[in-house]
């Protein structure tokens, strides 16, 4: 049994709970306890497994993303399959060979913890991308002390067609509303399975039918957890801790792109599963790309500039 720390939504308020990863949360933790507090010390998650409880989890509780003010960081090209896929999609493929073999890994900011989607929440794909995929990844839960204190599941939703146009478009392909999901819970490192025994799997379901499924052992990852953590800590402070996604090993073929209503399910040995339904990103105040005609943006803004200068 793998005991986990869960974050629950109780009629508009959040509260932590504990329970087995397979059967779900069963015991509420004290209402003043937070993920932010647990990640101020290396033994915080582990101690929460034995702390005093405040009662059973009510039937009305729903599972929320198990993060608060933690920033979500991500790694790229840590598996051979990822390097191959990004070379195939890119017009400048040499950069992926270089980073795969380099001492310095690819690390990038993914999302604020307050913006992360949780289990059964909707994830988004960009309407201006023609190839959108979920990227199943194991997340390292890092305390403010820099210690790796637990694991979780992450979905690094990506617009592969946008990044494929130019590697410099990676922030637009990776960082947007609804592009990151985390859950279902945090597994303390003391409860987690051995790294080399872990397998990651991804299933995409459409209209009740599985259209893609694959699984890969984590032992194929080129980088180690400590290596990725150490590079992140070279230049970043973690006052509330962080979650560092360790890269994807599973990439659907280019004929499969996420559509509205699709379901993405990521399962990782000993960490449970994370399921999300897909929707098209629709921001009410977003600039309408159909109005991108000569001079229209400047006319809207009233600037009169047509060459991008200010």
Whether residues 48 and 175 share a domain: the answer is no
pLDDT of residue 307: 42
Tell me the residue range of the domain where 58 lies: 3-64
Rounded Cα distance between 31 and 38, Å, is: 13
Q: Which of 118, 125, 111, 161 is nearest to 281 (CA)?
A: 125
138 and 21, same structural domain? no
pLDDT at 303 over 80: no
* Pair 157, 248 in one domain: yes
* % the chain with pLDDT above 70: 86
Last residue of a domain, one of 18, 47, 64: 64
Chain-centroid distance of CA 87 in Å reads: 22
Asked if residue 290 belongs to a domain, the reply is no
Q: Are residue 151 and residue 243 in the same domain, yes or no? A: yes
User: What pLDDT was estimated at residue 295?
Assistant: 43
Contacts by residues 50-56 (CB-CB < 8 Å, ≥ 24 positions apart): 53/18, 53/27, 53/28, 53/29, 54/28, 54/29, 54/30, 55/27, 55/28, 56/26, 56/27, 56/28
Q: Is residue 107 part of a domain?
A: yes
Assigned token pair, 42:
């290396």
pLDDT tens, position by position, 44-55: 999 999 999 999
My answer on whether omega of the bond before 184 falls inside 30° of 0, hence cis, is yes
Q: Are 47 and 169 in a shared domain?
A: no
Pick from 75-84, 183-192, 285-294: least confident: 285-294
Task: Report whether 221 contacts 75 (CB < 8 A).
Answer: no
Domain-embedded: residue 288? no
- Range from 7-16, 29-38, 170-179, 287-296 carrying the lowest mean pLDDT: 287-296
Structure tokens belonging to residue 97: 């060979």
Tell me whether residue 297 is in a domain.
no
Cβ 158 vs Cβ 103: under 8 Å: no
Same domain, 58 and 97: no
Predicted confidence (pLDDT) per residue in 85-117, tens digit: 554 555 555 666 677 778 888 899 999 999 999
Confidence (pLDDT) at 279: 97
Let me know how long the chain is. Answer: 310
Total structural domains within the chain: 2
- What's the pLDDT at 101? 79
Residues 46, 192: one domain?
no
Alpha helices in the chain (DSSP H): 35-38, 44-48, 80-89, 94-101, 160-165, 170-174, 225-233, 296-301
**Residue 97, domain member (yes or no):** yes
Instruction: Say what the pLDDT of residue 44 is.
Output: 97
Residue 102 pLDDT: 82
CATH number of the domain encompassing residue 265: 3.90.850.10
Indicate whether 60 and 75 sit together in one domain: no
Q: Is 303 domain-assigned?
A: no
Residue 293 lies in a domain: no
Q: 140 and 264, same structural domain? A: yes
Q: Do 122 and 269 lie in a common domain?
A: yes
Does the residue 16 lie in any domain? yes
Q: Are residues 144 and 242 in the same domain?
A: yes
Q: 217 and 270: one domain? A: yes
């Amino acid at each position: 049994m793998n005991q986990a720390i869960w974050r629950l939504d109780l009629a508009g308020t959040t509260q932590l709970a504990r329970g087995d990863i397979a059967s779900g949360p069963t015991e509420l933790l004290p209402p003043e306890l937070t993920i932010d507090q647990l990640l101020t010390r290396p033994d915080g998650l582990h101690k929460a497994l034995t702390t005093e409880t405040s009662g059973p989890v009510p039937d009305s509780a729903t599972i929320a993303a198990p993060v608060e003010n933690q920033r979500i960081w991500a790694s790229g090209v840590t598996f051979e399959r990822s390097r191959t896929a990004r070379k195939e999609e890119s017009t400048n493929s040499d950069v992926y060979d270089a980073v795969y073999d380099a001492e310095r890994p690819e690390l990038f900011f993914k999302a604020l913890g307050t913006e992360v989607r949780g289990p059964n929440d909707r994830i988004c794909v960009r309407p201006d991308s023609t190839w959108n995929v979920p990227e199943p990844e194991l997340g390292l839960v890092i305390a403010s002390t820099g210690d790796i204190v637990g694991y979780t599941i992450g979905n690094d939703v990506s617009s592969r067609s946008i990044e494929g146009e130019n590697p410099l478009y990676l922030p637009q392909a990776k960082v947007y509303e609804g592009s990151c999901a985390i859950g279902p819970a945090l597994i303390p490192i003391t409860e987690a399975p051995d790294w080399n025994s872990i397998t990651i799997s991804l299933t995409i379901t459409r209209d009740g039918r599985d259209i893609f499924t694959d699984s890969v052992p984590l032992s194929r990852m080129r980088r180690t957890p400590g290596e990725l953590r150490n590079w992140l800590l070279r230049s970043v402070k973690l006052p509330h801790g962080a979650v560092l996604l360790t890269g994807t090993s599973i990439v659907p073929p280019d004929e499969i792109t996420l559509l509205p209503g699709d379901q993405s399910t990521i399962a990782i040995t000993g960490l449970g599963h994370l399921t999300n339904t897909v929707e098209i990103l629709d921001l009410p105040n977003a600039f309408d790309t159909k109005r991108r005609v000569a001079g229209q943006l400047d006319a809207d803004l009233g600037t009169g500039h047509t060459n991008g200068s200010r």
